[in-house]
Amino acid sequence: MKTNVLEGAALPAAVDMEKALIRKVAWHLMPLIMICYLFAFFDRINISFAKFQLQTDLGFSDTAYGLGASLFVVGYVLFEVPSNLMLYKVGARRWIARIMISWGLATAMMAFVTTEWQFYGLRFIIGAMEAGFAPGILYYLTLWFPQNYRGRITSILFLASAFSGLVGAPVSGLVLGHLDGFMNIRGWHWLFLLGGLPCIALGLMVLTLLKDRVQDAPWLTAEEKTFLSSRISQQEPHKSGSSLFAAIRIPGFLTLALIYFLIQVGSYGLNFWAPQLIRSAGTESPTIIGLLTAIPYICGAITMVVIGRLSDTSGERRKYAAGLVALGAFGFLCAGIFADHTVFLIVSLGLLGAGVIASIPIFWTLPPKLLAGAGAGAAGGIALVNCLGQFGGIVSPIMVGRIKDLTGSTTPALYVIAVTGLITAALLLWGLPERLRTRDARSET
């Protein structure tokens, strides 16, 4: 009887073949996916860079600006789950391409806003059009990579968001400063055009270059397709249902959603308040503040890669995620203690970034594991976890701002976020079902 070459090889050779196959798949998929994810993250935050010129030109109040900015989240949350259910029905490649093209068009249209109602409407539409992208990508990766490689693959994906934060600020400054008035177009118009129009081209590339299934990949041999498909299916638990409601009833689902909500409270606390903390500690130069703000993202990016590999090697996800969240909580605590000492504050922010930022990709290895085999419920369930987590992005800025208004300092808010981080770590260690306590199959590094 003929034996499959990959499966029939000696164990060391088979391991090497598997690693080579995973690298081959990653090189074909991840560069394009990471570029798409980078633009997705940038198009979320570019409104903050355009704020001053936009408000000056259109005469918007801070209230109008704040309402428009928040309407993005409203549209995103309302359409997140329906979007991912459609992704499951029509195929990931087509639906991700649709998301890219539609949000690119909507973002570019921001350059033509002249009234408050146009601003409100487009911000809502951009959120609605982008809804489902991040969880859709995460679901798509489960179709191509076995569980024991998902930690490092997810970490690589989330590096794009870190790079977006690192690159987005200086590039936006250059666009606003040097393209303002070019071809009689304002700088903030260029910012939205250059953020939106490339997404249309990227959407067309997704439609052309990505494939929905392993079996559809022309760059894999028949043996590679068979082997990779079998490795993915072997590591998936038994089916748990075929609908979103069935997925919600799986023990541990709502706990995962709560955990991600609490992680996002810390993440948005960093994203929205790090520059303010650095300024309050005594640094006045906007350039220096921008460079120092990049430090937690650099630490987070490095930790993502290191911990992603370690978690794949050990097969341990839950404990690594808990440890990272606890590290982030310690960073928030230290940031409060050293709020008036710039050097120690920056060290604290580095710890905070290494913990909070790196915990997100490790966390995202857990929902696919819980929802594996749930069919449409897996796509919708992953989207719902992300959707519920986004409320942390609403709660955190409001909470920090309110505490600052009441006390005159952000320090008490940092302590509150530190406590939520410890609660999150406890939930990861002791609040999840047995299905998520077991280690994944280990991979060889």
Whether residues 329 and 360 fall in one domain: yes
Domain end, chosen from 235, 252, 268, is at: 235
Whole-prediction pTM: 0.70
| 406 shares a domain with 363 | yes
State the Cα–Cα distance between residues 213 and 207, nearest whole angstrom. 13
| CATH classification at residue 56 | 1.20.1250.20
Q: Which two tokens stand for residue 75?
A: 């549209």
- Measured distance CA(264)–CA(422) in Å, rounded: 14
Q: Are residues 191 and 90 in the same domain?
A: yes
Query: Based on the domain organization, do 229 and 292 belong to the same domain?
Result: no
Q: Is residue 196 part of a domain?
A: yes
Quote the number of domains for the chain: 2
pLDDT band at 136 (very low <50, low <70, confident <90, very high): confident
Distances from the Cα of 8 to the Cαs of 4, 20, 236, in angstroms?
6, 16, 22
Residues 215, 320: one domain?
A: no
The 10 Å Cβ neighbour count of residue 246 is 19
Q: Are residues 218 and 359 in the same domain?
A: no
Let me know whether 277 and 189 are in one domain.
Answer: no
Name which of 237-246, 267-276, 358-367, 381-390 the model is least confident about: 237-246
Task: Kindly state whether residue 1 falls inside one of the protein's structural domains.
Answer: no
Over the stretch 234-252, which tens digit does the pLDDT of each residue have?
755 444 445 667 777 788 8
Using the 3D structure, point to which of 211, 235, 259 is the last residue of a domain.
235
Query: Is 178 inside a domain boundary?
Result: yes
Burial of 389 from C-beta contacts in 10 A (0-12 / 13-18 / 19+): buried
Q: Does residue 102 form part of some domain?
A: yes
Contact assessment for residue 228 and residue 149, using Cβ atoms and an 8 Å cutoff:
no
Sign of the C-alpha dihedral computed for residues 213, 219, 220 and 222 taken in this order: positive
Q: What share of the chain is helix, strand, coil (3-state, %, to 5)?
A: 80, 0, 20
Structural domain for 82, as ranges: 10-235
**Domain edge (last residue) among 186, 219, 235:** 235
| Domain presence at residue 353 | yes
Nearest to residue 410, comparing CAs of 343, 324, 326, 348? Answer: 348
Kindly report, residue by residue over 81-122, the tens digit of the pLDDT. Answer: 788 778 878 888 888 899 999 989 999 998 888 888 888 889
